[in-house]
Structure 1
Amino acid sequence: MWFDSHCHLDAEEFSKDLSLVLARAAEQGVTGILIPAVDVKSFDRVIAIVEQWSSLMPYLCFTLGIHPLYTPAATAEDVHTLLRYVEKYQTHPRFVGIGEIGLDYFVTDLDPVKQEWFFDQQLKLAKQFDLPVILHVRKSQDQILKRLRKMGLSGGIAHAFNGSMVQANQFIQLNFKLGFGGTLTYERSLQIRRLARDVPMDAYVLETDAPDIPPAWLKDTVDQKRRNEPLEIPGIAQTFATLRELSLLEVSSTNLHNLKVALPRLHQLFQD
């Protein structure tokens, strides 16, 4: 079986054909997808998708959080809203953590102080409720590591990891798994492909980040790319397997094992 550890099924790009997207993924052996919310407006939509489609996708699950790219429009009240949702859904069998949260120093017009405040507040919630976190770490690995250590928080997934091997090892030491997706399918992604080859077997999880970060085979021209979907996980896994000289079965089973370690609430979902 295949599990996509990061897929934005609530995105507008999927609004017209979500049932077909899920059916196509299921045909490719995808039985689990994690949907991370990105702002308070998306919370109800994410939860509704999980509850509506879990019969087709048995290990569909979700996290709740405020993404750094959405902090310009966010207010302190949004943190209180997140708290209320976490309290309400903390016993929900498909609620598995806080995310997508983090820092983004690539987008230059984001207020660093504001996004850091939201990140800190959400780390406090994760600590309070003993929940793992799904991290957005673009150009911000060192600052995120500093905050994780200060908070005494360990565990979760560093989504779309693109840092150095030194930084990778520091996340691994804090019990984080590193997310690898479509970017590693591009031959010119030398750094990410090196990481995919060299990280320990117990340190990775696979993701699509659909509808974003399409794999190389979805690129039509220099300027146009087709929509990414969770059905692409087996293809991404094949690239990962080739880089590491592993079988697809090894990659699939290790991916699932690592996800259960990163997101302990998945154990109960699989038992049910």
Structure 2
Amino acid sequence: MKLFDTHAHYENGRFDADRDDVLRSLPDKGIEFVANIGSDMETSRQSVALAEQYPFIWAAVGVHPHDAKNFVPDNLDELAALLAHPRVRALGEIGLDYHYDFSERSDQKRVFLQQMELARALNVPVVIHEREACADTLDILRQFPTVRGVCHCFSGSIETARELLKLDYMISFTGNITFKNARRAPEVIAWLPEDRIMLETDCPYMAPEPFRGRRCDSGYLYRVCETAAAIRGVSPEHLAEATLQNGRRFYNI
């Protein structure tokens, strides 16, 4: 079966020793496409470089809420320039993280709003990071009804998922759906329309069971697919094809 890892971080330092070997192995493991997602200006540049080097990798560029404290106005101009690159397909990851609060919440909101305004102006989709900030995130997303997006690494409620679908968002799931303590995500997976589901690893993080604790890579995405397919009562091959096409549609590939 062919899979689309719609959210990965191969620029991460945990791949420095063997990045090329890992990436070159992925097509033989059924990985058709990878979206490599920036989280600050430097990793956004690195994501573009990876997309230039590997034909199955596409890039997203953006500033994660953790790095909002370092965001300056000139960054918007550079993001706009990067978004014009033919291998860049989305703005992200962006959003709010009230779990760690590595940046002040006021800075997080300001930078999130500025990047949403850029996405609207350039008509590009967004990749959303939300942790313990659901209400504020939804409030901001509702201000931009023309912007399409995906809420990545989703672990929220059906009620939250319903609000995201009203905004025409996709919802993406990662290896945490295989964990024993996963409760809400399986309910959402079972409920969601098939055309709104995307799959991801968020590698090098979130390795699925039985590989939890290891460095993750896209080769483990089949476990996410198998788990989600079992929840929905369909074959892994069926869900792989559906989510491959969903990812291609979202990233315009």
TM-score by length of 1: 0.88
**Aligned position for 1:10:** 11
**Aligned position for 2:241:** 253
Give me the whole-angstrom Cα distance separating, in 2, the residues matched to 1:172 and 1:261. Answer: 16
For residues 30-84 of structure 1, give each alpha carbon's deviation from its aligned partner in whole angstroms, at most 9, with x where no partner exists.
Answer: 0200011111112321111111122xxx3x1011100111112332332232223
For residues 9-41 of structure 1, give each alpha carbon's deviation from its aligned partner in whole angstroms, at most 9, with x where no partner exists.
Answer: 110111121122113322211020001111111
Asked if the contact 1:207/1:233 (under 8 Å) is kept, the reply is yes
Give me the whole-angstrom Cα distance separating, in 2, the residues matched to 1:30 and 1:261. Answer: 17
Aligned-pair identity in percent equals: 25
**Aligned position for 1:71:** 68
Which range moved further: 171-180 or 139-148?
139-148
**Aligned position for 1:270:** none
1:243 maps to amino acid: I
Q: Kindly report which structure 2 residues correspond to 1:147-226, keeping only aligned pairs within 5 A, or say none.
A: 147-219=140-212, 225-226=213-214
2:230 maps to amino acid: T
**How many residues are paired up?**
252
Give me the whole-angstrom Cα distance separating, in 1, the residues matched to 2:173 and 2:145. Answer: 25
Q: Kindly report which structure 2 residues correspond to 1:103-114, keeping only aligned pairs within 5 A, or say none.
A: 103-114=96-107
Q: Kindly report which structure 2 residues correspond to 1:89-108, keeping only aligned pairs within 5 A, or say none.
A: 89=85, 92=86, 94-108=87-101
Give me the whole-angstrom Cα distance separating, in 2, the residues matched to 1:200 and 1:186. Answer: 23
Superposed displacement of residue 109, structure 1: 4.5
Asked if the contact 2:174/2:206 (under 8 Å) is kept, the reply is yes
1:11 maps to amino acid: N
Unaligned runs of 5+ residues in structure 1 are: 220-224, 267-272
**Aligned position for 2:52:** 51
After superposition, the CA RMSD in angstroms is 1.4
Give me the whole-angstrom Cα distance separating, in 2, the residues matched to 1:218 and 1:188. Answer: 15
Asked if the contact 1:210/1:227 (under 8 Å) is kept, the reply is yes
1:244 and 2:232 aligned: yes
Superposed displacement of residue 162, structure 1: 1.7
SS in 2 for 1:205: strand
Give me the whole-angstrom Cα distance separating, in 1, the residues matched to 2:45 and 2:119. Answer: 20
TM-score by length of 2: 0.94
Superposed displacement of residue 241, structure 1: 1.0
For residues 188-218 of structure 1, give each alpha carbon's deviation from its aligned partner in whole angstroms, at most 9, with x where no partner exists.
Answer: 2111122122222122100000001111211
SS in 2 for 1:251: helix
Which range moved further: 186-195 or 30-39?
186-195
Give me the whole-angstrom Cα distance separating, in 2, the residues matched to 1:135 and 1:141. Answer: 11
Give me the whole-angstrom Cα distance separating, in 2, the residues matched to 1:28 and 1:109. Answer: 36
For residues 229-259 of structure 1, give each alpha carbon's deviation from its aligned partner in whole angstroms, at most 9, with x where no partner exists.
Answer: 1101112101111111111121011102222
Asked if the contact 1:6/1:36 (under 8 Å) is kept, the reply is yes
Asked if the contact 1:104/1:138 (under 8 Å) is kept, the reply is yes
